Amino acid sequence: MQPIEKDFEWMKKHLEEDVKLENISDDVALLAVQGPKSLLTLQKLTDVDLGQIKYYHFVKGKLAGVDMIISRTGYTGELGFELYFEADPKVCRKVWDAIMEAGKEFNIGPAGLGARDTLRTEMGYMLYGNDIDQTTNPLEAGLDWIVKFDKGDFIGRESLIKVKTEGIKRKLVGFITDEKIPPRHGYEIFKDGEKIGYVTSGTFSPILEKGIGMGYVDIRFSNLGEKIKNQRSWKGINCGDC
């Protein structure tokens, strides 16, 4: 089951009687424009003051003459925006062509999932299905900053309180390898011959010119600067400092 379907089924399961839910994912297109010149590029195409949109906020407006949601979000760690609009091929082409033309002076270019994966790993952004899934919890994944136990009840609250009280047994960390060879999903992680965890994401960092990755390790070995090992020696760093 794909994440969209899984999320939708979960929401339907917990739906209140006076709420109607409709999955319109197939009717909405998403185009992400990311990078230091993204604001200057998009500002040419809209009357909305993009500089006033705070991080993780969005507005509704026209861009390239198309009604859309303009969101100050992204999955790259760069300045950027995500645009949500009608998933009509003609509309998509219109928006795409307008953005590519507006960004010509900044050498804009398309980027695929491989490039995005490198950027999000450098930033320490997690990927559902790799770094987090139904077997992980927010506390061990370093997402405790978005779990507010003092804001009333929520689904899973009691389970998380139990985890917090007992203490987490493992932790998601980021690491840098000593070589250019990237670690890969599923690789085992060792410390002095003892298996202490596994890699969830890995790639080559063009900036560092080394392999980087994330993975879950025994909480005993999750400290900043910890030396861990797979086929080669890796310098481990806390994922929050990735």
Same domain, 65 and 157: no
Count up the domains in the chain and report the number.
2
What residue has token string 């670690």? Answer: 183
**Residue 133 has what pLDDT?**
93
186: nearest Cα among 205, 214, 206: 214
Distances (CA, A) of 226 to 70, 114, 221, 233: 41, 28, 6, 11
Residues of each annotated binding site for substrate = 82
pLDDT digits 0-9 by tens, 104-155: 999 999 999 999 999 999 999 999 999 999 999 999 999 999 999 999 999 9
Assess if residue 55 is contained within a domain.
yes
Domain range holding 98? 3-110
Report pTM.
0.88
Q: 123-141 in b/e burial notation, b at 16+ Cβ within 10 A?
A: ebbbbeebbbeeebbeebb
Q: Give the residue from 46, 79, 110 where a domain finishes.
A: 110
Length of the chain: 242
CATH number for the domain that contains residue 235: 2.40.30.110
How far is CA 203 from its chain centroid? 15
Residues of each annotated binding site = 82
pLDDT digits 0-9 by tens, 4-13: 999 999 999 9
Model confidence at 239: pLDDT above 60? no
Same domain, 21 and 130: no
